[in-house]
Structure 1
């Protein structure tokens, strides 16, 4: 087995790059790499066949977890750092003992017939990551992000997505006019009009449009929607969190197969 590269200097260029990726939500766009924190995200990337450029272990992890050694052959390079130094690479209260760098996947081409989610300027990284997780669970193929949406490959979205990124085609930086390339009907939720979820058949495949947490779906984008759909709320709440609404809608419109 190839011996790992041992790094002990805090100002090493590789470690500086990792810090930048961990602290700046949009740094991946400039650096062309994504930083994955923790064995769950790293394992999810490997499970989907994503090659790792750098696989980073703490000294304790490298010596204690022999089952991680099978990942070594699938990384271009393996790096080991002191446990204390790994803490400087993370913004988490409990830093992980393993991480990885991978090349930023190229934006996929918009697939006209795909079961899709459209994110219209969603701001909260936790909501975006949760929606990606639900999308992957219910068979969505692609996620299309309108400009102004939280950065899809940012650390917070990655953590909330729990590996869902690697099961989806992700396209960022779109404008509403780009959605003209979709050949499936667009659906949006509404509290007061349209179809009632559970009481009407929904088209499949379709593209669910999920709007800004405060302002909702842009009017011009709403005008492109074939249907609006309301979610029955017998408990009387005014509205649902967008990530919760997304999970309900995606479950209801999943493939019957």
Structure 2
């Protein structure tokens, strides 16, 4: 593929103006159908999963780095910009030297039979990204986010996910009733159950429901769960961070499946 490389020095360049608007709005990708990813780690993770960027943007300094400059060839277009212009696209205190715009595929339908994680109104982008990362690590390929959950493709969730997004089936904006499409049983954690996580036979596969950081799983979703389990906490803490709880539950599912 031949890449068109353009050196840009004006912040009024139409592509840069568009990308600044995209990066300023956590849910902007829902309007544009594209997402900005920053840093060579995320770009390499996308490429490894078969994604092709529509546009690569890198600093003049990055263009002198052979390993970063080689990533330009992954896109049909590339913009080379001064560091000051790149900072305008960055949400980091220490901006990366390269980023890319990816075109998102059409929103997939729910896979009724897939092992899944259900996110019930999780607010913290770091928690959401960490759960996506755990899901990918433990072989759960579908994440279903209910309305009120942090935007899955927002810059903060992308950074916390560390590339997990590109190997997952992500469906967001769902209502509780949409989960009726799942054919696998839903499982939630609870402090009011006699079932202990590592002592109960978990459904294979299942959909783990992770609830709001303060309110937990909604009563409506809890009523839909086929099983609730408790995570032993011998240290006596009242509860675990939701991302930590998700990692423990997904590990136990993977362990029981051998």
Q: If the length of structure 2 is used for normalisation, what is the TM-score?
A: 0.96
Say if 2:52 is the partner of 1:56: no
Aligned to 1:100: 100
Say if 2:181 is the partner of 1:173: no
The alignment partner of 2:172 has SS state of: strand
The alignment partner of 2:239 has SS state of: coil
The alignment partner of 2:209 has SS state of: strand
**Closer/same/farther in 2, CA of residues 2 and 164 from structure 1, 3 Å limit:** closer
Equivalence map 1:129-140=2 (5 Å)? 129-140=129-140
Give 1:157 deviation, angstroms: 0.4
CA distance in 1, matches of 2:123, 2:86: 29
CA distance in 2, matches of 1:71, 1:204: 40
Deviations 1:168-198 (A, max 9, x none): 0000111111111111110000012142011
Deviations 1:103-134 (A, max 9, x none): 12221211111010000110110100000000
CA distance in 1, matches of 2:61, 2:52: 24
Q: Structure 1 segments of 4 or more deviating over 3 A?
A: none
Equivalence map 1:1-257=2 (5 Å)? 2=3, 4-63=5-64, 65-254=65-254, 256-257=257-258
CA distance in 1, matches of 2:194, 2:16: 52
The number of residue pairs the alignment matches comes to 256
Give 1:67 deviation, angstroms: 2.3
Deviations 1:216-235 (A, max 9, x none): 11111110000001000000
Contact 1:187 1:206 in 2 (8 A): yes
The alignment partner of 1:208 has SS state of: strand
The alignment partner of 1:254 has SS state of: helix
CA distance in 1, matches of 2:12, 2:73: 27
Give 1:72 deviation, angstroms: 2.9
Structure 2, unaligned runs of 5 or more: none
Q: If the length of structure 1 is used for normalisation, what is the TM-score?
A: 0.96
Deviations 1:38-57 (A, max 9, x none): 01111111110001000111
CA distance in 1, matches of 2:93, 2:70: 28
Contact 1:113 1:183 in 2 (8 A): yes
CA RMSD of aligned residues (A): 1.3
